Amino acid sequence: MSDLEAFQEQIGYRFREVERLQEAMTHRSAGARHNERLEFLGDSVLNFVIAHEVFHRRLRDSEGTLSRLRANLVNRSSLAAIAREIDLGSHLRLGGGELKSGGHRRDSILADAMEAVFGAVYLDSDFDTAAQVITGLYRPRLESLPEEVVLKDPKTRLQEALQSTRRPLPGYQVLDVRGRAHHQKFRVECRLRDSDQATVGEAGSRRQAEQRAAQAMLLEIEAERPGDADG
Amino acid sequence: MSDLEAFQEQIGYRFREVERLQEAMTHRSAGARHNERLEFLGDSVLNFVIAHEVFHRRLRDSEGTLSRLRANLVNRSSLAAIAREIDLGSHLRLGGGELKSGGHRRDSILADAMEAVFGAVYLDSDFDTAAQVITGLYRPRLESLPEEVVLKDPKTRLQEALQSTRRPLPGYQVLDVRGRAHHQKFRVECRLRDSDQATVGEAGSRRQAEQRAAQAMLLEIEAERPGDADG
């Protein structure tokens, strides 16, 4: 086992029962007592703590903006980045296959374990302590929250993601519109031009439905990236 | 304004600043200071409190089961049911259009206001108090959590939802499979036979991808129901 003392120093919390931290570091490929239950708990405490933070830091912003701010902070890539900053990967317990294929550098495994660590801290202490650990690790990001104008919407981010890999821009098409006035539902398809991939978004306006379809496509593209290791 | 004293008695919490409760009761149709920010906050505290509860009540269950248990408790219909039990609808502030069309009986409006009330309690007090209010209102449901065997998966629930309105059963089709062994991604389409609606699910197994496509279709069907008032 690696030096969990140093890791506890990094996150600013010393475990009463270090077995909980060990469980948080154990990927399901490595054994029976793995980190997925702790990840479930940690995901929800993280979401709440970050919701609290953006709510109090952005008193004039709408629910939509708060949601986007939070989503930017708790998504896989932010979690993986924080995990890398505190060298979480070197403490991971992985099974043989994941070990050989570089699982300790993979975004998804790092992000899941980071959430599990938050869950383990909460379980080992209390809500206030978990909130302190989370806000401590998130401090630089919380203190530089983007302004709404630079907070990019899903269509913009999808366009940039495709351009960065020299792929053609997506097409959007309204599939149907239902319902009475003021209660209309638009369904819009987002389709990539160089593959058979399509996603559908639904909302009360065409613009919002396009954004949702783009968001779904972003998730698909993210899920596809082989290994998605970048660290 | 209706008798918010009685409502505070119902939820077992007396507000220091009752303006917060009033804000939680105000639908966006009724004015500038409406409940959507509080709903954002309340949704996240609710998700966390319920995650904590199912985590501790179901020590042997997998993350997947915990997620389904929680989803059953925090979905729109459970929240609206609790809102009806404490007569939340009679305290809602709605704009003219929503008032005329029976907005105070609509599931979506009730559920959103219920979440906003949880957010308002948290803002007015602290985490432990909000957790007490939430677990108090959820007590009967938490004490009768379904067993995994009766906890129905999305495909089953979609089938039942369609049958209840005499619609034909959906079809599932694998769109593509990508990636190396052990890292494969299945994309499965769920298509309704009496409309042009289709959703896509993606996961590491065909079975799981079908469930996700069914879940997406369930959300579409739920979003479509006109008014979805049932109380």
pLDDT digits (tens, 9 = 90+) for B10-66: 999 999 999 999 999 999 999 778 999 999 999 999 999 999 999 999 998 989 889
Residue of B nearest to A60 (CA): B37
Q: Cβ–Cβ of A52/B41 closer than 8 Å?
A: yes
Residue range B4-149 forms a domain whose CATH class is mainly alpha
State how far residue A105 is from chain B, nearest Cα, in angstroms: 15
Optimal mutation site among A28, A34, A35, A37, interface B, most CBs of chain B within 10 A: A37
In sign, the C-alpha dihedral spanning A43, A44, A50, A55 is: positive
Q: Write out the residues of chain B at the interface with chain A, using a CB-CB cutoff of 8 A.
A: 36-37, 39-41, 43-45, 47-48, 51-52, 55, 61-63, 66-67, 97, 127-128, 175-176, 178-179, 182-183, 185, 196-200, 202, 220, 223-224, 226
Is the confidence at residue A131, as pLDDT, over 90? yes
pLDDT per position in chain B (231 positions), as tens?
468 999 999 999 999 999 999 999 999 999 778 999 999 999 999 999 999 999 999 998 989 889 989 998 999 999 999 999 999 999 999 998 888 888 888 899 999 999 999 999 999 999 999 999 999 999 999 999 987 645 678 898 898 888 888 888 999 999 988 887 667 888 999 999 888 889 999 888 889 899 999 988 988 887 676 544 333
pLDDT digits (tens, 9 = 90+) for B5-23: 999 999 999 999 999 999 9
Whether A43 is catalytic is yes
Q: Cβ–Cβ of A63/B39 closer than 8 Å?
A: yes
Is the confidence at residue A185, as pLDDT, over 90? no
Which residues, other chains included, contact A182 with Cβ-Cβ below 8 Å and sequence gap of 6+? B97
State how far residue B143 is from chain A, nearest Cα, in angstroms: 20
Is the confidence at residue A7, as pLDDT, over 90? yes
Please pick, among B23, B107, B115, B189, the residue that the annotation labels catalytic.
Answer: B115
Q: Are B175 and B188 in contact (CB under 8 A)?
A: yes
**Options 1.10.1520.10, 3.40.630.40, 2.120.10.30, 3.40.50.2000; CATH of A4-150:** 1.10.1520.10
pLDDT the model gives residue B230: 37
Residue B184 dihedral angles phi and psi, to the nearest 5°: -70, 150
Residue pairs between chains A and B whose CB atoms are closer than 8 Å: 82
Residue of A nearest to B67 (CA): A40
Domain A154-224 belongs to what topology?
Double Stranded RNA Binding Domain (3.30.160)
Residue of B nearest to A178 (CA): B224
pLDDT band at A165 (very low <50, low <70, confident <90, very high): confident
Average pLDDT over residues A55-59: 95
Q: Cβ–Cβ of B66/A127 closer than 8 Å?
A: no
Q: Are A22 and A32 in contact (CB under 8 A)?
A: no
d(CA A127, CA B52): 11
pLDDT digits (tens, 9 = 90+) for A91-112: 999 998 888 888 888 899 999 9
Q: Where are the domains of chain A?
A: 4-150, 154-224
Q: Cβ–Cβ of A47/B45 closer than 8 Å?
A: no
Is the confidence at residue A36, as pLDDT, over 60? yes
In this chain, the answer to whether the domains covering A4-150 and A154-224 adopt an identical fold is: no
Average pLDDT over residues A145-172: 83
Please pick, among A115, A124, A210, A228, the residue that the annotation labels catalytic.
Answer: A115
Give the residue from B14, B8, B35 showing the smallest Cα distance to B24: B35
pLDDT the model gives residue A231: 30
Average pLDDT over residues A73-84: 95
Q: Cβ–Cβ of B40/A47 closer than 8 Å?
A: no
Whether A115 is catalytic is yes
Is the confidence at residue A11, as pLDDT, over 50? yes
Residues making up chain B, counted from first to last: 231
Q: What is the secondary structure of chain A as a DSSP string?
A: ---HHHHHHHHT---SSHHHHHHHTB-GGG-SS-SHHHHHHHHHHHHHHHHHHHHHH-TT--HHHHHHHHHHHHSHHHHHHHHHHTTGGGG-B--HHHHHTTGGGBHHHHHHHHHHHHHHHHHHS-HHHHHHHHHHHHHHHHTTPPPGGGS--HHHHHHHHHHHTTPPPPEEEEEEEESSTTS-EEEEEEE-TTSS-EEEEEESSHHHHHHHHHHHHHHHHHHHSSTTB--
Please pick, among B39, B43, B53, B107, the residue that the annotation labels catalytic.
Answer: B43
d(CA B61, CA B69): 10
For the ranges A25-29, A116-120, A203-207, the lowest mean pLDDT is seen at A203-207
